[in-house]
């Protein structure tokens, strides 16, 4: 049932009338729209996208945010903020750079397979462990398969590669599967400014 102030002229209305319309305040204005039944698809494609978003989110948790020692954040934060358009926040921009190409499961698997087959795959695992990243397991509701911690770091590296990330230590002009062990170590250290 809708709640109204000033009943006949309806100066303010909030709530749903039947399954037809919804009245609500929006940005200081009174708004009305057609009522839609909320949906939350749980098909395999939606789960795959959600797990990739979670992988980027977990990787970005390892990035040092502003603190007393680093008032502007780690090198990754500073560089990404410098390239972020005014209409976005830095972490959303970084994730969008990676998900533009990696949202497709075949592209994701191709990148991860290429990195896993290199001589430095153990370097990715060690770097992810040093950053404190944990595996995302398929036993968690909403995830279709496991995403190891090293894949989360590779996804972040791909996003940085895509946005042409560059710091005093490393130039991310190399595709993640072409990176040497020193590149992987330097990229991970830029997360915390070690």
Domain assignment present for residue 60? The answer is yes
Question: Could you tell me the pLDDT band of residue 10, with boundaries at 50, 70 and 90?
Answer: low
- Tell me: do 19 and 85 sit in the same domain: no
Q: What is the pLDDT of residue 122?
A: 92
One domain for residues 48 and 30: no
pLDDT digits (tens, 9 = 90+) for 58-110: 888 888 666 666 677 778 888 888 889 988 898 889 899 888 888 888 888 89
Q: Are both 99 and 54 inside the same structural domain?
A: yes
Residue 153 included in any domain: yes
CB 127 within 8 A of CB 185: yes
Residue 39 located in a structural domain:
no
Do 30 and 86 lie in one domain? The reply is no
pLDDT at 23 over 80: yes
Q: Cα separation of 192 and 119, whole Å?
A: 25
Instruction: Tell me what pLDDT residue 114 has.
Output: 92
- Per-residue pLDDT, 38: 74
- Check whether residue 83 and residue 29 sit in a common domain: no
- Does one domain contain both 179 and 87? yes
Residue 100 sits in the same domain as residue 141: yes
Which pLDDT band holds residue 4 (cuts at 50, 70, 90)?
A: low
For residues 30 and 48, state if they share a domain: no
Q: Name the domain count of the chain.
A: 2
Q: Are residues 26 and 93 in the same domain?
A: no
Q: Which residues pair with 12 in a beta bridge?
A: 5
The answer on 92 and 50 residing in a single domain is yes
Nearest to 35 by CA among 47, 24, 19: 19
Q: Are 108 and 154 part of one and the same domain?
A: yes
- State whether 160 and 121 are in the same domain: yes
- Which domain, by its residues, includes 113? 44-192
């Amino acid at each position: 049932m809708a709640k109204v102030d000033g009943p006949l002229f309806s100066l303010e209305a909030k709530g749903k009338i039947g399954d037809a319309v919804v009245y609500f305040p929006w940005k200081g204005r009174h708004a009305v729209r057609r009522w839609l039944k909320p949906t939350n698809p749980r098909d395999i494609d939606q789960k795959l996208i959600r797990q990739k978003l979670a992988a980027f989110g977990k990787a970005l948790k390892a990035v040092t945010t502003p603190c007393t020692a680093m008032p502007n954040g780690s090198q990754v934060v500073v560089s990404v903020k410098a390239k972020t358009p005014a209409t976005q926040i830095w972490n959303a921009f970084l994730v969008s750079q990676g998900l533009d190409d990696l949202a497709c499961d075949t592209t994701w698997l191709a990148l991860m397979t290429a990195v896993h087959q290199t001589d430095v795959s153990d370097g990715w695992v060690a770097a992810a462990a040093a950053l404190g990243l944990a595996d995302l397991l398929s036993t968690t509701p909403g995830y279709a398969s496991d995403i190891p911690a090293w894949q989360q770091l590779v996804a972040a590296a791909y996003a940085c590669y895509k946005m042409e990330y560059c710091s005093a230590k490393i130039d991310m002009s190399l595709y993640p599967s072409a990176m040497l062990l020193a590149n992987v170590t330097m990229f991970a250290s830029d997360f915390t400014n070690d």
